[in-house]
């Protein structure tokens, strides 16, 4: 009994201050009010030009007015009427306030000018939402969303701000209070519970249940399923083999890179020697000068004027001019000079 009383007090605290609005000027309108809250009903544009009007529920006059004056009001202090905009306010709503209401308008002769029907529904607002999640045997996650105090609750789900899709749901639908998520679904999950007078949400960060999907051939058998990663013994050899192959390929690639670097270094060194070799040869090709002198043998005095035979030595010049200073005059090579007889 104490639990029930506490729940009712909690619902009253939640409902207090909840105000809804409904335009009842259209015949057959469905209006909703929160239990313990306030509803504002627009019944007419204004009372200007209307001689008489009355609002009836189950043949009982709720209120009656003439021109701008309210003659009778059965709800008393719980309600108020505004002739200027034709709104009727009901406070502290109870279940008995729900039902079908009829507004009738009369002319000065008492003839009916028209009437319109309004259906008022009283609902308890949603007070709180609870989320409970659990992992299933194959890694799926079942999430239940429950609410307290709400009449005719409606459920909706979002994941990371987006409505759940069929690809994320294994069973259930995004409008039910219990759903089952697939093994790879994670993120910020939000359950919203609402009715016509309230809306409450609850969010929870969910992660996978520790399952992984394997797809391999082991001992000639094709295995394709979700398994718990911590206890998995399937396809381990295949994983090891793939790891070993990767390591071998990495080693071969490293050797190839080293050989490539060595090869580049050898080529560069060879080109360097080729570029330096001509310079060394050029340095060696210095100018060689020959000092040619004519030596005359004076055998006879009378032959002093005779023609002397001269033999020239070879003179070589460098293919490239030297940048250094020209050789000194003392650097010379003498060649043998013979006189032909």
The mean pLDDT value for 109-126 works out to 93
| pLDDT tens for each residue of 192-234 | 999 999 999 999 998 888 877 777 777 777 776 677 777 666 6
The mean pLDDT value for 242-269 works out to 81
Q: How many Cα atoms within 13 Å fall on the side-chain side of residue 73? A: 13
Contact 138, 183 (CB under 8 A): yes
Q: Which two tokens stand for residue 118?
A: 């309004």
| pLDDT tens for each residue of 306-332 | 444 444 455 454 445 444 444 444 444
What's the rounded Cα separation, in Å, for the pair 251 and 246? Answer: 9
Q: What pLDDT score was predicted for residue 54?
A: 94
The mean pLDDT value for 144-167 works out to 92
Beta-strand relationship, 112-123 and 29-34: parallel
Bigger pLDDT: 23 vs 139: 23
Q: Which two tokens stand for residue 263?
A: 């090869």
The mean pLDDT value for 96-124 works out to 94
Bigger pLDDT: 313 vs 169: 169
Contact 13, 148 (CB under 8 A): no
Bigger pLDDT: 226 vs 65: 65
Among residues 23, 33, 14, 112, the alpha carbon closest in space to that of 79 is found at 33
Q: What pLDDT score was predicted for residue 211?
A: 77
What's the rounded Cα separation, in Å, for the pair 312 and 314? Answer: 7
In this predicted structure, the answer to whether residue 93 has a pLDDT above a threshold of 70 is yes
Q: Which value, to the nearest 10 degrees, does the dihedral of the CA atoms of residues 247, 249, 254, 258 take?
A: 150
In this predicted structure, the answer to whether residue 296 has a pLDDT above a threshold of 50 is no
Separation in Å, CA 223 to CA 101, 119, 140, 241: 67, 61, 19, 17
In this predicted structure, the answer to whether residue 34 has a pLDDT above a threshold of 70 is yes
Share of the chain above pLDDT 90, in %: 42
In this predicted structure, the answer to whether residue 25 has a pLDDT above a threshold of 80 is yes
Q: Which residues are CB-contacts of 70 (< 8 A; sequence separation ≥ 6)? A: 63, 64, 81, 83
Among residues 186, 53, 69, the alpha carbon closest in space to that of 112 is found at 53
DSSP of 73-101? ETTGGGEEEETTTTEEEE-S--GGG-EEE
What's the rounded Cα separation, in Å, for the pair 105 and 108? Answer: 10
SS3 167: coil
In this predicted structure, the answer to whether residue 48 has a pLDDT above a threshold of 50 is yes
In this predicted structure, the answer to whether residue 8 has a pLDDT above a threshold of 50 is no
Whether this prediction's pTM lies above 0.75 is answered by no
- Give the mean pLDDT of the chain: 78
């Amino acid at each position: 009994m104490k639990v029930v009383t506490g729940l009712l007090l909690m619902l009253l605290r939640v409902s207090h201050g909840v105000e809804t609005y409904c335009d009842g000027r259209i015949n057959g309108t469905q209006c909703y009010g929160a239990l313990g809250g306030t509803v504002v009903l627009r019944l007419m544009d204004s009372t200007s030009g209307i001689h008489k009007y009355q609002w009836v529920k189950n043949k009982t006059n709720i209120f009656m007015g003439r021109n701008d004056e309210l003659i009778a009001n059965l709800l008393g202090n719980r309600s108020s009427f505004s002739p200027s905009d034709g709104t009727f306010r009901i406070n502290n709503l109870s279940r008995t306030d729900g039902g079908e209401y009829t507004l009738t308008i009369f002319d000065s002769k008492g003839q009916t000018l028209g009437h319109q029907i309004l259906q008022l529904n009283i609902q308890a607002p949603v007070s709180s939402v609870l989320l409970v999640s659990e992992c299933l045997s194959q890694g799926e996650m079942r999430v239940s969303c429950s609410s307290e105090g709400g009449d005719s609750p409606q459920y909706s789900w979002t994941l990371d701000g987006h409505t759940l899709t069929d690809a994320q749901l294994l069973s259930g639908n995004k409008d039910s209070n219990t759903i089952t998520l697939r093994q790879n679904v994670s993120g910020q999950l939000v359950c919203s519970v609402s009715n016509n007078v309230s809306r409450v949400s609850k969010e929870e960060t969910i992660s996978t249940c520790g399952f992984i999907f394997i797809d391999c051939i082991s001992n000639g058998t094709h295995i394709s399923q979700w398994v718990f990663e911590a206890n998995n013994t399937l396809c381990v050899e295949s994983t090891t083999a793939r790891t070993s192959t990767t390591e071998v390929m990495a080693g071969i690639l490293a050797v190839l890179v080293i050989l490539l670097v060595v090869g580049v270094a050898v080529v560069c060194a060879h080109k360097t020697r080729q570029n330096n070799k001509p310079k060394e040869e050029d340095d060696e090709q210095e100018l060689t000068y020959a000092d040619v002198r004519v030596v005359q043998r004076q055998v006879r005095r009378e032959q002093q004027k005779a023609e002397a035979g001269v033999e020239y030595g070879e003179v070589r010049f460098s293919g490239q001019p030297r940048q250094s200073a020209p050789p000194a005059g003392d650097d010379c090579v003498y060649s043998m000079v013979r006189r032909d007889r």
